[in-house]
């Protein structure tokens, strides 16, 4: 887990800064993503963790510009390999999607189209972005299925999704994501729906992939254990904001934000990938309208008078920042 | 897969048996089936002879099996009015009804599918709202009124199309459009709601994430899934239409099964009424069977569950 502090521009695959994504308009608009900034470097696995509704998926879909109908990016910038995505044309985005930015989804049972063969769905991705004949695309799809170790790939090409197990389907989604050798792979809870052994295999593929191709991976998950072993840096999200961002070892050794501390204290022993992060009583708020103070305050054991003012992210170490008024002075909040 | 087909076939057989039994019960509901099946001016001796000949004096279940035997051998009785066996009489009218039904359905789908898809894609826009208001309107206006208006406009005023009958190929246009319009509303609303559901599915998001054009996402990935429930409903509609569409056939003097049933009912020609009931039920069951079997071809999941 190399710690890279001086970003050479070539190394940065993705730079998101001050991203605001809202759903709906007017006073009722939900601030799904509210001022998020981070970079993902070539060959890096960048972890994003946080409770349900904290804005992880919304961040991912903002990057691909595939937001729900009423969602829109209202502010901020997304630089992908130096290219600004927030203002790129829809045709330009389509060229990137599935080619240079690929995504795999949480539920492999529902992310493949049930009425088409898995092979045709992989070939389709290939044909969309590469100059190939249908036969060449089919051969390429079979090769990709072999790479993700689907037994009997050639004959399974014409099988339908329901004929595969969840783990096999996720491999097919990965094969599809690999089809055009992307620079950025967004994996939105790729193993949440799978059991632990299958999770290991899937994460193993992602690891191998980034080693061999240098793809940058955004790994979104509820499972901090998974990130402990498989990420280089981690952003912790809460109510649409990043509340702490640090190298993985640093997050685990020296968590500074009370929310991160609570998450770590509540971490289940062993790998229970299906476990949702519910570190404290209460639920994260949905931010509508202006923020009044620190969003975590209602659940924060250390909340004080000052916390009614919105805190900024503050640097508190090398590549380490946290969004809490008491970061400098606050002692580690241990049980 | 094979077992699915077999079980569907078995179901169809059971349904048809039940239909036969109900038809048989209807015949006995009046008290004296012999009177029902004989012409009103038959003599008492003729009725008694007919009663023994048909076995109407035998025990109930024995009669049912005789009845079953007769209909299985294609003997649906004799129409005194037409002086002909009933089955050929009814079958002769089937092509006209089937032609009208299929043309009307195709017409309705040609309109309903694009309208439903566009409404779903443009959800909550003026286009969507306008289409859905029109659909609801089309569903609630009675078919005979539309029919009469169309005759008035295209036949009487403009003289473009024949008012009735089926002598020329153009004759089918007005009845088919009238019948089809009544179905457009329901089918368009069905396509729309089915499409809306599918557009929210993960595999649609995944298709977009592959970089496919919105056209391909909608018309390839989403539409094929959205049409699955539509196939079922259209199958039901076809099954119902094949039984004859009384109002439309009468308005346009279309010589189909609907016309025949009206003539039979007004002429108290019970054998024909009974044959129409049986045939409609058989056609309905067979259409549904065909749709279910078709389903195994278009939805790969069926038969594996
Ligand atoms: N289609 C939508 N319409 C309205 N609000 C939405 C929609 N999708 C998400 N939101 C809201 O946006 C916020 C962020 O949601 P997001 O899906 O990004 O959370 P998440 O961190 O991915 O959660 P999970 O772990 O459950 O996937 C939440 O408040 C959520 O309620
Ligand atoms: S700013 Fe206050 S409420 Fe927010 S995390 Fe820090 S101590 Fe808790
Ligand atoms: Mg999510």
Cβ within 8 Å of A, B 224-243: 224-225, 228
Closest CA to B282 of B87, B99, B89: B87
Token output for B127: 């286009």
Residue B34 pLDDT > 60: yes
More confident residue, A124 or A273: A124
The pLDDT-based confidence of A274 (bands split at 50, 70, 90) is very low
- What's the mean pLDDT in A197-216? 91
Q: Under an 8 A CB cutoff, do B301 and A114 touch? A: yes
Q: Helices in chain A by DSSP H: which ranges?
A: 56-64, 90-96, 118-129, 134-147, 153-156, 166-178, 196-213, 224-230, 248-253, 258-265
Closest CA to B183 of B130, B233, B255: B233
> What's the order of all strands across the beta sheet hosting A12-23?
A30-41, A12-23, A71-80, A83-84
Please check whether residue B59 touches A, CB under 8 A.
no
Closest CA to B119 of B16, B191, B208: B191
Q: Under an 8 A CB cutoff, do B209 and A163 touch? A: no
The pLDDT-based confidence of A291 (bands split at 50, 70, 90) is confident
Closest CA to A180 of B210, B236, B232: B210
- What's the mean pLDDT in A231-253? 95
Q: How far is B247 from chain A (nearest CA, A)?
A: 39
pLDDT per residue over A67-115, tens digit each? 988 899 999 999 999 899 999 999 999 999 999 999 999 888 899 999 9
- What's the mean pLDDT in A272-292? 67
DSSP letter for B300, please. Answer: T
The pLDDT-based confidence of B153 (bands split at 50, 70, 90) is confident
Ligand 2, pocket-test mutation among A291, A293, A300, A309, most atoms within 8 A of CB: A300
Name, of B30-44, B143-157, B206-220, the range with top average pLDDT: B206-220
Tell me the C-alpha distance between A141 and A121, whole Å: 9
Tell me the C-alpha distance between B49 and A185, whole Å: 87
**Residue B120, SS3?**
helix
Tell me the C-alpha distance between B115 and B129, whole Å: 11
- What's the mean pLDDT in B131-152? 85
CB within 5 A of ion ligand 3: which residues? Answer: A 57
Please check whether residue B123 touches A, CB under 8 A.
yes
**Residue A101, SS3?**
strand
More confident residue, A110 or A266: A110
Token output for B118: 């566009």
Q: Supply the pLDDT for residue B46.
A: 85
Tell me the C-alpha distance between A65 and B221, whole Å: 19
The pLDDT-based confidence of A16 (bands split at 50, 70, 90) is very high
Q: Supply the pLDDT for residue A231.
A: 96
Residue A3 pLDDT > 60: no
Q: Under an 8 A CB cutoff, do B211 and A98 touch? A: yes
What is the ipTM score, two decimals?
Answer: 0.86
- What's the mean pLDDT in A243-269? 89
Q: Supply the pLDDT for residue A278.
A: 53
Q: Which helix (H) or strand (E) holds A279?
A: none
Q: Supply the pLDDT for residue B203.
A: 95
Ligand 1, pocket-test mutation among A24, A31, A32, A187, most atoms within 8 A of CB: A32
Q: Under an 8 A CB cutoff, do B203 and A162 touch? A: no
Nearest atom, ligand 1, residue A240 CA: 14
Smallest-distance ligand from the CA of A33: 1
Tell me the C-alpha distance between A90 and B262, whole Å: 60
Cβ within 8 Å of A, B 196-215: 201-203, 205-213
Please check whether residue A125 touches B, CB under 8 A.
yes
Residue A35 pLDDT > 90: yes
Cβ within 8 Å of B, A 278-297: none
- Looking at domain A10-100+180-280+292-334, its CATH class is alpha beta
A52 CB less than 6 Å from ligand 1? yes
Q: Supply the pLDDT for residue B144.
A: 81
Q: Supply the pLDDT for residue A277.
A: 53
Closest CA to B36 of B229, B265, B271, B293: B271
Tell me the C-alpha distance between A190 and A167, whole Å: 10
Place of tokens 């099996």: B65
Q: Which residues of B touch A111 (CB under 8 A)?
A: 202-203, 205-206
Token output for B293: 């079997």
As a three-state string, the secondary structure of B216-266 is HHHHHHHHHHHHHHHHHHHHHHHHHHHCCCHHHHHHCCCCCHHHHHHHHHH
Angle at the Cα of B212 from the Cα atoms of A64 and A172, rounded to 5 degrees: 80
Tell me the C-alpha distance between A71 and B65, whole Å: 67
Q: Supply the pLDDT for residue B305.
A: 46
Residue A280 pLDDT > 80: no
pLDDT per residue over B89-136, tens digit each? 899 999 999 999 999 999 999 999 999 999 999 998 999 999 999 988
Tell me the C-alpha distance between A19 and A34, whole Å: 6
pLDDT exceeding 70 applies to what percent of chain A? 91
Residues 6+ apart with CB under 8 A from A236: A49, A50, A242, A243, A244, A245, A251, A257, A259, A260, A263
Q: Among partner residues A110, A163, A173, which is closest to B201 by beta-carbon distance?
A: A110
Q: Which residues of B touch A98 (CB under 8 A)?
A: 209-212
> What are the Cα distances from residue B45, in Å, to A74, B21, B42?
93, 29, 8
A223 CB less than 6 Å from ligand 1? no
The pLDDT-based confidence of A242 (bands split at 50, 70, 90) is very high
Q: Supply the pLDDT for residue A279.
A: 60
The dihedral built from the CA positions of residue A274, A234, A92 and A136, taken in this order, carries a sign that is negative
Q: Among partner residues A69, A114, A125, which is closest to B210 by beta-carbon distance?
A: A125
Residues 6+ apart with CB under 8 A from A152: none
Where are chain A's structural domains? 10-100+180-280+292-334
- Mean of all residue pLDDT scores within chain B: 87
| B100 C-alpha to ligand 2 centroid (Å) | 73
List the residue whose alpha carbon is closest to atom 26 of ligand 1.
A52
Q: Under an 8 A CB cutoff, do B301 and A102 touch? A: no
* Cβ atoms of residues A323 and A315 within 8 Å: no
- Mean of all residue pLDDT scores within chain A: 88
Where are chain B's structural domains? 2-75, 88-298
Q: Supply the pLDDT for residue B228.
A: 92
| A306 C-alpha to ligand 2 centroid (Å) | 8
Residue A272 pLDDT > 80: no
Q: From the options 1.10.3720.10, 3.30.70.580, 1.10.8.80, 3.90.320.10, give the CATH code of B88-298.
A: 1.10.3720.10
Q: Supply the pLDDT for residue A2.
A: 44
Cβ within 8 Å of B, A 170-199: 173, 176
Neighbours of B152 (CB within 10 A): 12
């Amino acid at each position: 887990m190399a710690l890279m502090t001086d970003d050479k521009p070539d190394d940065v695959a993705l730079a998101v800064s001050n991203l605001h994504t809202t759903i709906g308009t007017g006073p009722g608009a939900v601030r799904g993503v509210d001022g998020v900034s981070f970079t993902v470097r070539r060959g890096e696995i960048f972890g994003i963790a946080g409770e349900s509704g904290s804005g992880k998926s919304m961040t991912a879909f903002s990057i691909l510009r595939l937001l729900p109908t009423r969602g829109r990016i209202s502010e901020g910038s997304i630089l992908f390999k130096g290219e600004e995505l927030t203002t790129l044309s829809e045709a330009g985005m389509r060229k990137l999607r599935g080619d240079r930015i690929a995504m795999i989804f949480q539920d492999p049972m529902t992310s493949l189209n049930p009425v088409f063969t898995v092979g045709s769905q992989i070939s389709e991705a290939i044909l969309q972005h590469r100059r190939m004949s249908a036969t060449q695309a089919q051969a390429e799809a079979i090769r990709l299925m072999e790479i993700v170790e689907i037994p009997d790939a050639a004959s399974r090409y014409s099988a339908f999704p329901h004929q595969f197990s969840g783990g096999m389907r996720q491999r097919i989604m990965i094969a599809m994501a690999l089809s055009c050798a992307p620079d950025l792979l967004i994996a939105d809870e790729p193993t949440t729906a799978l059991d632990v052994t299958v999770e290991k295999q899937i994460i193993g593929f992602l690891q191998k992939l980034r080693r061999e191709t240098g793809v940058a991976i955004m790994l979104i998950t509820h499972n901090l254990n998974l990130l402990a072993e498989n990420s280089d840096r981690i952003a912790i999200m809460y109510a649409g904001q990043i509340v702490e961002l640090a190298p993985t070892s640093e997050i685990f050794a020296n968590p500074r934000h009370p929310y991160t501390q609570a998450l770590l204290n509540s971490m289940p022993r062993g790998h229970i990938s299906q476990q949702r992060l519910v570190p404290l009583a209460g639920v994260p708020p949905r931010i509508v309208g202006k923020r009044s103070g620190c969003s975590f305050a209602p659940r924060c054991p250390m909340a004080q008078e000052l916390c009614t003012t919105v805190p900024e992210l503050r640097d508190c170490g090398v590549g380490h920042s946290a969004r809490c008024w008491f970061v400098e002075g606050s002692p580690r909040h241990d049980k | 897969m094979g077992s699915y087909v077999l079980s569907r076939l078995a179901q169809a057989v059971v349904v048809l048996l039940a239909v036969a039994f109900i038809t048989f019960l209807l015949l006995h509901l009046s008290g004296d089936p012999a009177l029902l099946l004989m012409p009103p001016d038959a003599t008492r001796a003729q009725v008694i002879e007919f009663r023994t000949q048909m076995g109407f004096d035998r025990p109930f279940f024995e009669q049912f099996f005789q009845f079953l035997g007769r209909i299985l051998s294609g003997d649906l009785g004799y129409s005194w009015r037409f002086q002909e066996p009933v089955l050929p009489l009814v079958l002769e009218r089937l092509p006209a009804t089937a032609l009208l039904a299929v043309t009307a359905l195709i017409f309705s789908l040609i309109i309903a599918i694009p309208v439903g898809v566009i409404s779903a894609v443009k959800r909550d826009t003026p286009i969507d709202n306008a289409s859905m208001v029109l659909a609801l309107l089309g569903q609630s206006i009675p078919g005979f009124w539309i029919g009469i208006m169309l005759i008035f406009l295209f036949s009487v005023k403009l003289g473009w199309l024949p008012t009735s009958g089926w002598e020329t190929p153009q004759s089918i246009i007005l009845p088919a459009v009238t019948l089809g319009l009544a179905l457009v509303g329901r089918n368009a609303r069905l396509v729309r709601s089915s499409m809306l559901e599918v557009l929210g599915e993960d595999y649609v998001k995944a298709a977009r994430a592959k970089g496919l054009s919105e056209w391909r996402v909608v018309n390839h990935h989403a539409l094929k899934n959205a049409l699955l429930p539509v196939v079922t409903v259209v199958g039901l509609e076809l099954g119902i239409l094949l039984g004859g569409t009384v109002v439309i056939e009468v308005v346009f003097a279309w010589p189909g099964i609907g016309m025949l049933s009206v003539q039979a009912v007004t002429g108290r020609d019970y054998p024909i009424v009974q044959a129409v009931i049986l045939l409609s039920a058989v056609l309905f069951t067979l259409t549904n069977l065909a749709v279910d079997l078709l389903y195994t071809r278009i939805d790969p999941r069926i038969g594996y569950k």
